[in-house]
Amino acid sequence: MPTGQTYIVQQGDCLSSIADSFDMLPKTVWDANSDLKQKRQNPNTLMPGDQLLIPAPRVKTFNGATDKQHRFVLKTVPTKIRLVIEQHQQPIAGKSYELTIDGKKLSGTTSDSGLIEVPLPAGAKSGVLEIPDAEIECELQFGCLDPLEEVSGAQARLQNLGYYYGDVDGEPSDEWSESLSLFQSDYGLDVSGELDGPTQQKLLAQHDKEHSNPTDAAPPAAAAGPSTTDVPPDESDVPSEEDDDAIFQAWEESDDS
Amino acid sequence: MAKTVLQRRIMRLLDEATYVNTINVTDQVAIEFVWYPGESGTPAIDSLVDTLVAAPGTDGAERKIEYTWARTGKVPVKRTMTSGRINIPLPPGATGVLTVFGTGWQITRAAVGAVLDPVATVQGMQERLNQLGYQLRVPGQKSNGVDGVAGRKTENAVLAFQTDYRPIAGAPAAAANRLSVRGEWALNPAIAANLNWYNQVGGGHPNVNPSGTDSAALQAALVAAAGA
């Protein structure tokens, strides 16, 4: 078995996008990186520069009978974006939104808790969210949220929460410290202006909110075009002859005789 | 009011993730404090657009200004950022009290889309002058003097504004100091002479001429200075 290679995380990458580019399941890759797993906890936020060991592909053997058609199913891992959108700390509930990703327009309505949940096409890097009733137009960069323990990750979270207006550059500037103090005073924390433990925890609780009822959001409807996400993206049919190089994590045989 | 396009970084989530990204959009009113131009001790009149906090004190240290912003009952003392800017969260129609230098200012957020009156009107010009700290008020009267009527106070304020916004390198300190005397120059030959000096030697600000209250250049400068 060939040894694995190391991949250096770039901005905009996340575990799923990296795994996808190596035709791997995210879990397979993540489990091969116990040190990073320990360090980052959350596989959805990696830091540019993090090194990820890509394990060598496993070989599966399949004996197929001749003169029969075989169907292989490539199991991919769907990713999604899920966000709660608020205005002045109140959820923007029941407003119609439009999300444009890769030129495709999805429209839907935010839930009572302001939730928007959309399956994400593989490789999508950014999208534009518009909520006309709330006068919101927001460019979303997917997979660009750095880990919480990094200044840049905390800056981006504080920006999302409406506290920080500076650059998300990892530089602990004056403005950054001011915003942090404001957040701390609003949430009854020790006003230190430093990214201390309790502040990190509060940021995590406020930004990466647990959401127990993910089916809350109405599924978005494809506004135009036949090939958008109304098909559940967890499995996609892949013609076997096109995928000599693909690693099939699961396969089925169908007898089409 | 132009709609701002926000840029936000979010997590791409695996399907089994149980958490969300949270984006809270809070309308902010950005207020920028600037030093009064020509203040005694300001190194050169060039720095008149220096921000309040960026202007060095006599010891060269940065000066940050404490302020309080009260809307929700909590009144933490905050300090301006190095840019001189503060951002106060304020939904449309809401009101709060901003206190700086011991003076409370009631700040009311205009309805979305509302702006100051057009700068080409006397009213709009007065609103901006008032916002920039040029006094229109007649002493002893309660009104702030923004009344849409161009009187002597307005003219003085305009002249003061035009004079202040003429950054000139190498201006004599005495002349620079004289510029902070407000509303006098029309009557005071010494200041008028200084102005002549600026016109001849300094070249002045290309966009502003102390020519009256109706020039497009004045209006443009006012809009630029008042940020609205």
Domain range for A111: 79-145+216-233
Inter-chain contacts counted by CB atoms under 8 A, chains A and B: 159
Q: Is B77 on the interface with A (CB under 8 A)?
A: no
Q: Would residue A109 count as lying in a domain?
A: yes
Partnered with residue B67 across adjacent β-strands are: B78, B100
Is A27 in the same domain as A122?
Answer: no
Which of the residues B25, B32, B68 would you substitute to probe the A interface, choosing the one with the greatest number of A C-beta atoms within 10 Å?
B25
**Total tally of structural domains belonging to chain A:** 3
Read off the pLDDT of residues A5-25 as tens digits, 9 standing for 90 and up: 889 988 888 888 888 888 888
pLDDT at A52 over 80: yes
Q: Is B10 on the interface with A (CB under 8 A)?
A: yes
Is A13 in the same domain as A128?
Answer: no
Is A115 in the same domain as A229?
Answer: yes
- The pLDDT value given to residue A235: 42
Nearest to B1 by CA among B113, B94, B141, B156: B113
Q: How far is A132 from A191, CA to CA, in rounded Å?
A: 37
- The pLDDT value given to residue B20: 87
State the smallest CA–CA distance between residue B82 and chain A in angstroms: 7
Using a CB-CB cut-off of 8 Å, the residues of chain B touching A17 are 12
Read off the pLDDT of residues B80-124 as tens digits, 9 standing for 90 and up: 655 566 667 666 666 777 776 666 667 666 555 556 677 777 787
- The pLDDT value given to residue B134: 75
pLDDT at A70 over 80: yes
Q: Which of A143, A165, A182 sits opposite B11 (nearest CB)?
A: A143
Q: Which of B6, B10, B27 sits opposite A83 (nearest CB)?
A: B10
Residues in chain A: 257
Q: Which of A144, A160, A175 sits opposite B22 (nearest CB)?
A: A160
- The pLDDT value given to residue B122: 78
**CATH of residue A186:** 1.10.101.10
State the smallest CA–CA distance between residue A257 and chain B in angstroms: 36
Read off the pLDDT of residues B109-118 as tens digits, 9 standing for 90 and up: 655 555 667 7
Q: Is B82 on the interface with A (CB under 8 A)?
A: yes
Nearest to A162 by CA among A126, A136, A130, A198: A136
Average pLDDT over residues A23-35: 86
Buried b (16+ CB within 10 A) or exposed e, B100-136: beeeeeebebeeeeeebeebeebbbbbbbbbbbebbb
Read off the pLDDT of residues A223-237 as tens digits, 9 standing for 90 and up: 444 343 344 444 444
Average pLDDT over residues A152-180: 87
Using a CB-CB cut-off of 8 Å, the residues of chain B touching A209 are 19-20, 22
Is A115 in the same domain as A98?
Answer: yes
Q: Would residue A123 count as lying in a domain?
A: yes
Q: Which carries the bigger pLDDT value, residue B226 or residue A35?
A: A35
State the smallest CA–CA distance between residue A66 and chain B in angstroms: 38
Q: Would residue A228 count as lying in a domain?
A: yes
Q: Is B75 on the interface with A (CB under 8 A)?
A: no
Q: Which of A84, A140, A186 sits opposite B22 (nearest CB)?
A: A84
Q: Would residue A257 count as lying in a domain?
A: no
**CATH of residue A17:** 3.10.350.10
Is A46 in the same domain as A153?
Answer: no
Is A126 in the same domain as A227?
Answer: yes
Is A9 in the same domain as A98?
Answer: no
Read off the pLDDT of residues A190-245 as tens digits, 9 standing for 90 and up: 888 889 999 999 999 999 988 765 444 445 554 444 343 344 444 444 444 443 33
pTM score of the predicted model: 0.59
- The pLDDT value given to residue B142: 73
Q: Would residue A229 count as lying in a domain?
A: yes
Is A106 in the same domain as A224?
Answer: yes
Q: What percent of chain A has pLDDT over 90?
A: 22
Using a CB-CB cut-off of 8 Å, the residues of chain A touching B81 are 174-175, 178
Using a CB-CB cut-off of 8 Å, the residues of chain B touching A44 are 11-14, 17
pLDDT in tens, chain B (228 residues): 345 678 898 888 887 788 889 988 877 666 666 554 433 333 333 333 333 333 333 333 444 566 676 665 555 566 665 556 666 766 666 677 777 666 666 766 655 555 667 777 778 778 777 766 677 877 777 777 888 887 778 777 777 776 665 544 444 433 333 333 333 333 233 334 443 333 333 333 333 334 444 456 666 666 666 655
Q: Would residue A242 count as lying in a domain?
A: no
**CATH of residue A139:** 2.60.40
State the smallest CA–CA distance between residue B22 and chain A in angstroms: 5
Give, as one character, the DSSP assignment of residue B27: -
Pick the most confident of A70-84, A147-161, B112-126: A147-161
Query: Is A234 close to B15, i.e. CB distance below 8 A?
Result: yes
Using a CB-CB cut-off of 8 Å, the residues of chain B touching A136 are 6, 25
Structure tokens belonging to residue A220: 């978005």
End-to-end CA separation in angstroms for chain A: 37
Complex-level ipTM: 0.71
List B residues 178-217 in contact with A (Cβ-Cβ < 8 A): none
Is A55 in the same domain as A176?
Answer: no
Is A49 in the same domain as A87?
Answer: no
Task: State the SS3 of chain A.
Answer: CCCCEEEECCCCCCHHHHHHHCCCCHHHHHHCCHHHHHHHCCCCCCCCCCEEEECCCCCCCCCCCCCCCCCEEEECCCEEEEEEEEECCEECCCCEEEEEECCEEEEEECCCCCEEEEEECCCCCEEEEEEHHHCEEEEEEECCCCCCCCHHHHHHHHHHCCCCCCCCCCCCCHHHHHHHHHHHHHCCCCCCCCCCHHHHHHHHHHHCCECCCHHHCCCCEECCCCCCCCCCCCEEEECHHHCCCCCCCCCCCCCCC
State the smallest CA–CA distance between residue B103 and chain A in angstroms: 22
Average pLDDT over residues A147-159: 91
Query: Is A141 close to B6, i.e. CB distance below 8 A?
Result: no
Q: Would residue A238 count as lying in a domain?
A: no
Is A126 in the same domain as A86?
Answer: yes
Read off the pLDDT of residues A90-129 as tens digits, 9 standing for 90 and up: 899 999 999 999 888 999 999 999 999 998 887 788 999 9
Read off the pLDDT of residues A129-148 as tens digits, 9 standing for 90 and up: 999 888 888 999 998 899 98
Using a CB-CB cut-off of 8 Å, the residues of chain A touching B5 are 137-139
Is A191 in the same domain as A223?
Answer: no
Q: Would residue A69 count as lying in a domain?
A: no
- The pLDDT value given to residue A220: 52
